[in-house]
Chain A
Amino acid sequence: MSPMASEALVLGIETSCDETGIGIVRGSTLLADAVASSVAEHARYGGVVPEVASRAHLQAMVPTVHRACEQAGVQLSDVDAIAVTAGPGLAGALLVGVAAAKAYALALDKPLYGVNHLSAHVSVDLLENGPLEEACVALLVSGGHSSILRVPRVGGLELTELGATLDDAAGEAFDKVARLLGLGFPGGPLIDRAARDGDPASIAFPRGLSGASDPAFAFSFSGLKTAVARWVEARQRAGEPVPVNDVAASFQEAVVDVLTIKAVRAAREQGVDHLLLGGGVAANSRLRELAAERCAREGIRLRVPRPGLCTDNGAMVAALGAQLVQHGAPPSALDIPADSSMPIADVLM
């Protein structure tokens, strides 16, 4: 038997926010990544409306599963296990995915794995860069979280948070600043684009929690957001045009500067050879660039998934599920809840 054939075929379901993501992996090989997004329906509200997201998940579920099976060239009956995001996320949205996963598991008579969305964000990398059988440090930066983690094994059951944001998540800061610059929603990709035509050194925005006595691995982005707002308002009051691209570039630089300095320092202090990026903000082009630069300087190897796998998707859930299967983790029971505030250290429900 080829090693491929002995690896588990796992279907992953992700519905924690506004993307219905279905991924299929075999071991650490990505076979399908189908996403149906309701983001356009939320745009006019300037943020995700939970009930709108939940309705969209219900509608998209079965068609997206079909799309994924077609992409992967597999039948549902070939699947060895079902993995699903059990939390954290929007309660009603999570519930659609969890209920669907239970139904597929029950109907196919296959084990169910209710996994942590954040662990999934930092596991998706192995689909591109292969399994990592040693400890690493992960920088998880997304719409709701910004944390530095020690990960003993990617896709394993253990993980320790070394530090986290004390207020806004990095992605949240991108979204809020984009809104105040009138760029739209979601803001991350729009700031990323605007920043390409701006000067990152034009405005000196503050680097939160960067003092010698500040917690080494904690972040704070709400002061930065306020500083950007003040700067923009001062310009407007003076009747001067707002240099959107320069503001975007300078803001972005402030965020990624702090993120990369702290993440690299954590990797060094933990004595690991690899720094891993995950979460929607890891799609940011400047974060990737600066992280690569600073890692190279420190002799640390950077692992970062392609941008399309950084934001929410089902492949990351399937990837984590496949690791759990492979390492004999106990499946979840059919009565597991969807936990909107599932702790980051709980990898499996």
Chain B
Amino acid sequence: MLALVIDTSSAAVTAGVVDCAVDTAQGGPRVLSEQVIVNARGHGERLAPLIRQALAEAGAGMIDLTAVIAGVGPGPFTGLRVGLVTAAAISDARGIPAYDVCSLDAIAAGTVEPRRLLVATDARRREVYWARYVAGRRVGEPAVAKPADLPGEAEELADAMVGAGARLYADLLRLPLLDDVDHDYPAVRGLGLLAADRVRSGAPTEPLTPLYLRRPDAVEPVASKTVSQ
């Protein structure tokens, strides 16, 4: 029961294969392969070859897949869309379901977490995408904010923090950083873990709606200008 796992919500381009029929000692499906390239502008060029490599490393072909699992962000738009349209097209072409996972949840799931955890990723423009977890469960919806604008005092928010955004803005967020680079980005294990039940039960396919959290930059023109000047 193999699922292809894709996440492009961060500077990492991630592809892997998990076997959902197997529950490992750490909980969750067995990771058969994980390919990661950290290149914030490389999603469009790197993802497809990486998927091919991840399949090869797992000793699997497209034909062996029963599902596609995709991190739906939040994340910078352009890269995020590469992963989502790729997952949607593979799901469509193979006739297999696609399942979404919030990419911040995947980071949280990948950590042996303290009771209260803050996950923050890099949203560019000096902001972070963030969410809070208590006993492994997300509290509220993911959001985007300046690191200094997160609600409440740091110690009220969480016991520790994790993610590339937490690392980048450690001085502003002022919480102990779970200092393991493996947790900077959503990883295949966390993504697989959060969708494994759906893969096993053959749940209906999902639309893979991106978590943009920001409106498009667009300005409506003011009054029409004189053209001839």
Q: Tell me the total A-B contact number using a CB cutoff of 8 A.
A: 117
Q: Quick one: given A52-B218, A229-B227, A229-B228, are A100 and B77 in contact (CB under 8 Å)? A: no
Residues of B within 8 A of A (CB): 43-49, 51-52, 62, 77-78, 81-82, 84-90, 92-94, 210, 212, 216-221, 224, 226-228
For residues 266 through 290 of chain A, which have their beta carbon under 8 Å from a beta carbon of chain B?
Answer: none
Contact check, B62 vs A106: say whether CB atoms are below 8 A apart. yes
Q: Quick one: given A55-B212, A58-B210, A335-B45, are A96 and B85 in contact (CB under 8 Å)? A: yes
Interface of B is mostly: helix
A177 to B166 CA separation, bound complex (whole angstroms): 50
CB proximity of B43 to chain A, nearest CB, Å: 8
Residues of A within 8 A of B (CB): 44-46, 49, 51-52, 54-55, 57-58, 61-62, 65-66, 76, 91-92, 95-96, 98-100, 102-104, 106-109, 176, 179-180, 182, 225-226, 229-230, 233, 334-338
Contact check, A54 vs B78: say whether CB atoms are below 8 A apart. yes
A91 to B62 CA separation, bound complex (whole angstroms): 29
A336 to B49 CA separation, bound complex (whole angstroms): 10
Most buried by B among A44, A49, A52, A58: A58
Contact check, A99 vs B227: say whether CB atoms are below 8 A apart. no
Q: Quick one: given A99-B48, A335-B49, A336-B45, are A107 and B89 in contact (CB under 8 Å)? A: yes
In the bound complex, residues from chain B placing their C-beta under 8 Å from that of A46 are: 220-221
Contact check, B226 vs A62: say whether CB atoms are below 8 A apart. no
Most buried by A among B45, B52, B210: B45
In the bound complex, residues from chain B placing their C-beta under 8 Å from that of A52 are: 216, 218
Contact check, A106 vs B48: say whether CB atoms are below 8 A apart. yes
Q: Quick one: given A99-B47, A230-B228, are A76 and B85 in contact (CB under 8 Å)? A: no
Contact partner of B85 (CB less than 8 A), chosen from A61, A176, A233, is: A61
A99 to B70 CA separation, bound complex (whole angstroms): 14
Q: Quick one: given A44-B220, A49-B216, A51-B216, are A335 and B90 in contact (CB under 8 Å)? A: no
A98 to B46 CA separation, bound complex (whole angstroms): 12
Q: Quick one: given A233-B226, A336-B45, are A106 and B90 in contact (CB under 8 Å)? A: yes
In the bound complex, residues from chain A placing their C-beta under 8 Å from that of B47 are: 99, 102
